[in-house]
Structure 1
Amino acid sequence: MSRATKMQTSFNGGEFSPRMFGRVDQAVYEIGVAECENFVPVIQGPVVKRSGTIYVETPKAQCRLIPFVPFTTQGYVIEASAAAFRFYTNNSRIETAPGVAYQVTTPWTWAQLNVLDVQPSVDVLYLVHGQTSPRVLARTGAETFALSELVLKNGPFDDDNTDETLTVTADGTTGSITITSSGPLFVAGHVGGLMRLEAQDFAAITAWEPGYNGVIVGALRRSEAKVYYAATAGRSGTVQPIHTQGAEWDGVVVGKDINDKDAGGILWQYRHDKYGIVKITGYTSPTQVTAEVVRRLPDSLTSTASWRWALGAFSTANGWPSAVTIWNERLVLAKDATLYGSTVGGYDDFGERNSAGELTSDRAFRVPLPDPNPILWLAADQELLIGAANAEYKATRIQGEARPDIKRQSKYGSGQAKPCEAGSRMLFVQKAGRKVREIDYNYQRDRYQAPDLTVVAEHLGKRKILGLTYQQEPDSLVWAWRADGLLLSLTYSPEEQVKGWARHPLGGDTLVEWATCIPDPDGDRDQLWLATRRGGKRAIVRMAPLWEVGDSRNEAFFVDCGLSYQGPTAQMISGLGHLEGETVKILADGSPHPDRIVEGGAITLAESRASTVVHIGRGYSGRLKTLAIEAGGQDGTAQGKRKRIISVVLRMLETLGVSIGVQGLPSQPIEHRLSLDAMNRAVPLFTGDHEINTIGQHERFGQIEISSDQPLPACLLATIPVLETAPR
């Protein structure tokens, strides 16, 4: 038999798929594990037991969590349930009175909230769903909010009508009017949408000309597709009127002009241009609707029918936008396979021409995808990234033009989950929900590429991945949740080539229904918030900070849906109504306490264990299992040969309460209490190497299993097994 010592110094490759268990030829095999449950791989290499979750509140109903971060030091979590928003900040719910949640009424059902798209912009959130008109949530105070309809002006519109037999007239040019069509045109779903009506032509109106003598008050003139009426009489000047509001002179009024001629000039009052805009307010019949004028109509529309019209792009009949982002100082909306961009700096203005009727680069745009591919999400980068049902695209700004150029980048397709911006890259869930891909620019190919981040952990996508959220500080972690309620983490640092997955089943078989991240009120880290369910009980919780070197024992929070008591020495701990009837784990003054059942919303500690700092909640276990050890044999590889682990040295950092074993045998707890340690004090956290001898028997894989079942911290730095391998 041959002996070898094989040290694994890093676990940040994360949990591998069983399909990878034979790939000892791959460098990544050296840093992967077979199971990583409730341990978080960190960039430096170790795995750290994930912290517990702190109970915040019981939600009104099944809910989605929406982050709202106006400033880096001020973050809110919105509890979005059917027809209502509730708000959390500074680790607690905003209330109008003790126990009474501050609430804003909303128009969305739970099914709609699942795919509601959200885009923040300082103190407001833009919210869109394809079945309802867009909304804006504005922060009106530190603890007050207002939800209103997003009112768009000057568009956007669908294609212009080309059927010259289908005409419209209006019975007025301002205020409330009735619009009548020559044939079936309207449906009830057009109510709430816009309509643009254009004059057939201005041939009946005299064109403005300079130096015309004999202008009378009230005379109409057309100029640059605009109509003006004379507020004064006399001879016209030499300055052509082009203004779009108010009144302006077209020449000098007194004295001589530059040609030493007598003064001339007319005060021209802007009346209207060639088109006007209305908002449809009521449906009468397929040929008649009522409307409110939002941009004055040309006078001729009251007497001359016109086939020059266009319906608004957004309405109940035509559909509402279903995706939103902000890119290049534009609000960009998506409906079906078309993008609609606002004017630069004017998020509510979708006018495609300026006041002079010109198509300039700062005006709004409307552009379809190259393929009829429904747009599911938008993400702003240097280019605009577009996720559609069957492909990914980029929109690139064209110098001097408003309309961007759109090119397909890949053909993976997306689901409804909003992409997650992690550092300098975008991550998205592929359409089947089984893979997470990162979007990164490839300079050699001059296009974006989207490699699969789950390629070595494809088994984690067996149940559909529903969403992603990014926790930047203190460790770069992407969190995902699946349709079966399992929480996943991805330790993500592409600069360090670290991409390691882990599973995080919550204590008590608790399921995760949504997750999001916001800054901690202290500003030194990000918080992970979860909407959870256990049986018929729902809870909003936030994960305690990941254990860091030097943290106090009293900060060791390793229970789920838990609460803490800090105060004078106490034996009875109350306020646990959300855990009523459950068996809970307890850490009292830094030491595990026997389990208790919550009765009447309280527990009672042993008389000898009355404590000043107590953490109580559902228990959970951390579990790490290495891949089959490859240490070589007398004639090559150790794979497929009978082997025995003779001893293991486990290198730990500030760790307590772990057990170690090998596959198929009971694990052995690692005892850290020394004979000199006082029995009435908590055992100090252990840092260093701990060796366990003769723990294995002959078998063919040689895997080490490490578990942490107590509510205590654990940080595993390395495993150093001595392996005895038999010849084949």
Structure 2
Amino acid sequence: MSRVRQVKTNFTAGEISRRLLGRKDLRAYDNGALTLRNVFIHPTGGITRRSGLAFVDTARGAGRLVAFEFNTEQTYLLAFSAGKIDVYRDDARVATVDAPWSEAQLRQIAWTQSADTLLVCHPDVPPRKLTRTGADAWTLSDWAYVAEDEAVRLPFYRFADSEVTLTPSGTTGAVTVTASAPVFDPLHEGTRIRIKGKQLVVTGVASATSAQATVKEELPNTTATVNWDEQAFSPRRGWPVSAAFHQDRLVIGGARDLPNRLWLSRSADLWNFDLGTGQDDEAIEFGLLSDQVNAIRAVFSGRHLQLFTSGAEYMVTGDPLTPRAIQLNRQTRIGSPIDRTIMPRDVDGATLFVSRNGKEIREFLYTDTEAAYQANDLALLARHIVQSPRDQDFDKRRRLLFVVMEDGSIGALTVYRAEQVTAWTRLATDGAVRSVAVVGDDVYVLVDRAGTWTVERFDDTLNTDSALVGSSGAAVSTWSGLGHLEGRRVAVLADGTVRGEATVVTGRITLESPAKEVEAGLTYTHVVEPLPANLLGQVADGDFVRLVEVGFKLEDTAALRVDLGRGLFDMPLHRLGPQPASGSPPPRVSGDRRMRALGWRRDNDKPLWRIEQDAPLPCTLLSVTMSLKVND
């Protein structure tokens, strides 16, 4: 009989798939876990019961959360819902703006920000500009392109066949424009066309080959010509899909009827898309020509201008970008989702994006050795966690990428490339999370709790969800303000001690004994389950294994509930000596806590211990030491 001592020093591989149970030769096996639920993984290796969710406000319904950061001191949360945008500052709603997007359309909106302006795109809705006009004053307006005399410098494109001609009946004023083939549609009314470089506005459509128009720039003659085009964006042709700011230019990526086309404004003239004669500061336009139509899903300003399409990822180079110097190079062939827009996020110089198959989070990273981008799969070891993402954002303070899944859970990825840390865990709450946004150092989520929609914020001081805290100079028994949890059972911490649960009635709870400070919210359970002990080369099939002793290195922990093979029990955290008085807050302890275990096991493919705790108290686990006996 041999004795084995194992030390698990970190969890920097996170929760890994059961398909790796046979790969005990991997470093990820020693640093991973079988189950990690509702915990944050620190880049240093330890794990902590995740922060609770503070209740911010009742939301209007399904939608998207968007961060707006004017500067480090003035940050806002924008909650998009059907027909509305609610603006929050310091957890208070400060403004509401009417908006044109329906609930179904919100899944396809894309946005980009510059200073006090947020540009919002959707392929079926005219793009809008949300502008902060004061501390709490906001306006939503249409994009306004540069106007020079009667000409508007917006993008144009020739949609019709090259042999189709237009013939104007005059050179000024109101004219009739006749086409040699069907090209006009009633939706052309109000849009601009150019004939021989001069602009007209369509005022009416008589038929597919005839339209009335007002000349804005005098035409040179009335002869038929193939030299004509029309607005690239219009009710007839659709609207931009995505936008970004790069090298002092506004970049528009794709449109409904031009999905693989890219437009860059004039340098330092963001709303001027006049191509001019191709001078260095003039606008740029080109299409992505490849073996298939790669519809642009996002444009991103990183080390280079990056294009994320339905079938590939591209790098646009040029230092600076000019009509003569610009180059487009396809880098990888992964693709992005086409049924919804999930904004790429910058993490330490890499751009993280969701793959088209909805099962991968890819890291689009430039490598100097190859002078090209690679797209490594960050979910390779945790494929079971990443299932149909619908939103994502990165929290720089915690170094966590929050990925909202279609099932309402959150995949939390701890990323620290310098230390080769890529660790997944799954976060769940009593309800379904539908959107996430990181505003400064705060992480907000939009949650559907059985039809009650709420905006909530991760709060390190809380251990319950949808929680409210209150205080009173004198101890009281009745606490109100919980209308968003009407009829629900909530966990209660009163004066730092766990008071069990109470039912919310007419927005209130009543405690059995009064308290001065209270936290009330929904409970959640955190689970830590290691992989089966790595006894590669030490145990043969049929050998018995016994856990003799397990030691947990804790930090700032108030409760620890473990299962060592015979059911869950509360592990005593206090050493011999005076115990905490009954009813007083449990003290937080740090250091090693050990427990003996009994029982031989023949099944070596099951974990030897497990932590599962719903008590709303903090818990941080840094490392685990196991002493084993093997009956060989």
TM-score (norm 2): 0.92
Distance 2:541 2:449 in 1: 42
Q: Counterparts in 2 of 1:389-428, with a 5 A limit?
A: 389-397=310-318, 401-402=322-323, 404-415=326-337, 416-428=341-353
1:125·1:138 contact (CA, 8 Å) conserved in 2?
yes
Q: CA deviation at 1:628?
A: 1.1
Letter in 2 for 1:51: S
- Tell me the residue number matched to 2:531: 627
CA-CA distance at 1:104 after TM superposition: 1.4
Partner SS state of residue 636, structure 1:
coil
Q: What's the secondary structure of 2:303's corresponding residue?
A: coil
- 2:452 is matched with 537
Q: Give the whole-Å Cα distance in 1 for the aligned partners of 2:171 and 2:77.
A: 48
Q: CA deviation at 1:400?
A: 7.8
**Aligned pair in 2 of structure 1 residues 580, 696: CA closer, same or farther (>3 Å)?**
farther
Q: Establish whether residue 651 from structure 1 lines up as the match of residue 570 from structure 2.
A: no
* Whole-angstrom distance in 1 between the partners of 2:543 and 2:239: 64
The question of 1:10 aligning with 2:3 is answered no
| Superposed CA offset, 1:102-125 (max 9, x none) | 321111111211111101111001
Give the equivalent residue in structure 2 for 1:34.
34
Aligned partner (choices 381, 389, 392) of residue 468 of structure 1 = 392
Contact persistence 2:165–2:224 (CA under 8 A): no
1:689 aligns with 2:608: no
Residues in 2 aligned to 1:716 and 1:375: alpha-carbon distance in whole angstroms? 44
Q: Tell me, in whole angstroms, the C-alpha distance in 1 between the residues paired with 2:260 and 2:15.
A: 38
Residue 322 of structure 1 deviates from its aligned partner by 0.7
User: Alignment partner of 2:30: what SS?
Assistant: helix
Determine which of 558, 563, 568 is the counterpart of 1:667: 568
CA distance in 1, matches of 2:169, 2:267: 32
Bigger shift: 165-174 or 52-61?
A: 165-174
Cα drift, residue 398 of structure 1: 6.4
SS at match of 1:585: strand
Which residue of 2 is the match for residue 278 of structure 1? Answer: 200
On the 8 A contact 1:161/1:307 being kept in 2, the answer is no
CA distance in structure 2 between the aligned counterparts of 1:21 and 1:154, rounded to whole angstroms: 61
Q: Does the 8 Å contact 2:166/2:177 carry over to 1?
A: no
Aligned residues of 2:112 and 2:118 also touching (Cα < 8 A): yes
What is the 5 A alignment of 1:430-509? 430-461=355-386, 463-473=387-397, 475-506=398-429, 508=430
2:209 is the counterpart of 1:287: yes
Contact persistence 1:51–1:558 (CA under 8 A): yes
Change (3 A) 1:513 1:163: closer
Q: Which of structures 1 and 2 has the bigger CA Rg?
A: 1
SS at 1:438 equivalent:
strand
Offset from partner CA, 1:167-220 (integer Å, 9 cap, x none): 23164546x76544455331122234332221xxxxxxxxxxxxxxxxxxxxxx
Shift of 1:352: 0.3
- Contact 1:631-1:638 within 8 A present in 2 as well: no
Q: Deviations over 1:50-103 (max 9, x none)?
A: 011011111112121111111122211111111111111111212xxxxxxx32
Q: Which residue number in structure 2 is paired with residue 346 of structure 1? A: 269
1:216-239 CA-to-partner distances (Å, cap 9, x unmatched) read xxxxxxxxxxxxxxxxxxxxxxxx
What residue in structure 2 maps to residue 157 of structure 1?
A: 156
Matching residue's letter, 1:347: L
Asked if the contact 2:486–2:504 (Cα under 8 Å) also holds between the matched residues in 1, the reply is yes
- Of 175, 194, 198, the residue aligned with 2:192 is 194
Q: Is the 8 A contact 1:528 1:543 kept in 2?
A: yes
Answering whether residue 507 of structure 2 is matched by residue 601 of structure 1, we say: yes
What amino acid is the match of 1:562? Answer: A
Q: Which has the higher strand share?
A: 2
Of 114, 120, 125, 1:121 maps to 114
Cα distance in 2 between the residues matched to 1:640 and 1:169: 91
**What residue in structure 2 maps to residue 317 of structure 1?**
236
TM-score (norm 1): 0.80
Deviation at 1:290, TM superposition (A): 4.3
Residues 545-602 of structure 1: per-residue CA shift (max 9 Å, x gap): 3xxxxxxxxxx41000111112222211111111111111111111111211111211
Closer, same or farther: CA 194–106 of 1 in aligned 2, 3 Å: same
* AA matched with 2:506: G
Q: Please say if 1:611 is aligned against 2:610.
A: no
Q: Deviations over 1:514-552 (max 9, x none)?
A: 111101xxxxxx11111111222111111113xxxxxxx
Relative to 1, partners in 2 of residues 1:503 and 1:400: Cα closer, same or farther, differing over 3 Å?
Answer: closer
Q: Residue 366 of structure 2: SS of its match in structure 1? A: strand
**Is the contact made by 1:370 and 1:407 (CA closer than 8 Å) also made in structure 2?**
no
Q: Which amino acid aligns with 1:615?
A: E
CA contact (8 A) 2:489 2:501 kept: yes
Return the alpha-carbon distance in structure 2 between the equivalents of residues 653 and 422 of structure 1.
28
Query: Which residue among 554, 577, 580 is the counterpart of 2:486?
Result: 580
Deviates more, 1:146-155 or 1:618-627: 146-155
**Distance of 1:437 and 1:412 partners within structure 2:** 9
Where in structure 1 are there 5+ consecutive unaligned residues?
95-101, 199-274, 520-525, 546-555
Cα deviation per residue 1:585-626 (whole Å; 9 max; x = unaligned)?
Answer: 11111111121111121111122xx22221100001111011
Cα pair 2:11 2:47 within 8 Å, conserved = yes
CA distance in 2, matches of 1:179, 1:72: 54
Match of 2:601 among 683, 698, 723: 698
Superposed CA deviations along residues 634-669 of structure 1, whole A, max 9, x for unmatched, are x63578742111111111001012111235x30221
How many residue pairs get aligned? The number is 611
8 Å contact from structure 1 (residues 630, 639) kept in 2: no
Aligned residue runs from structure 1 range 65-76, under 5 A: 65-76=65-76
Partner of 1:251: none
Structure 1 residue 448 displacement after superposition: 0.3
Q: Which residue does the alignment assign to 1:52?
A: 52
How has the CA–CA distance of structure 1 residues 697 and 618 changed in structure 2, closer, same or farther, with 3 Å as cutoff? farther
Show the counterpart of 2:168.
169
Question: Structure 1 residues 309, 698: closer, same or farther in 2, change over 3 A?
Answer: same
Partner of residue 302, structure 2: 381
Aligned-residue Cα RMSD (Å) equals: 2.1
How far apart, in 2, do the equivalents of 1:193 and 1:724 lie?
81
Q: Which amino acid counterpart does residue 158 of structure 2 have in structure 1?
A: D
Contact 2:265 2:283 in 1 (8 A): yes
- 1:450 is paired with a residue whose SS is strand
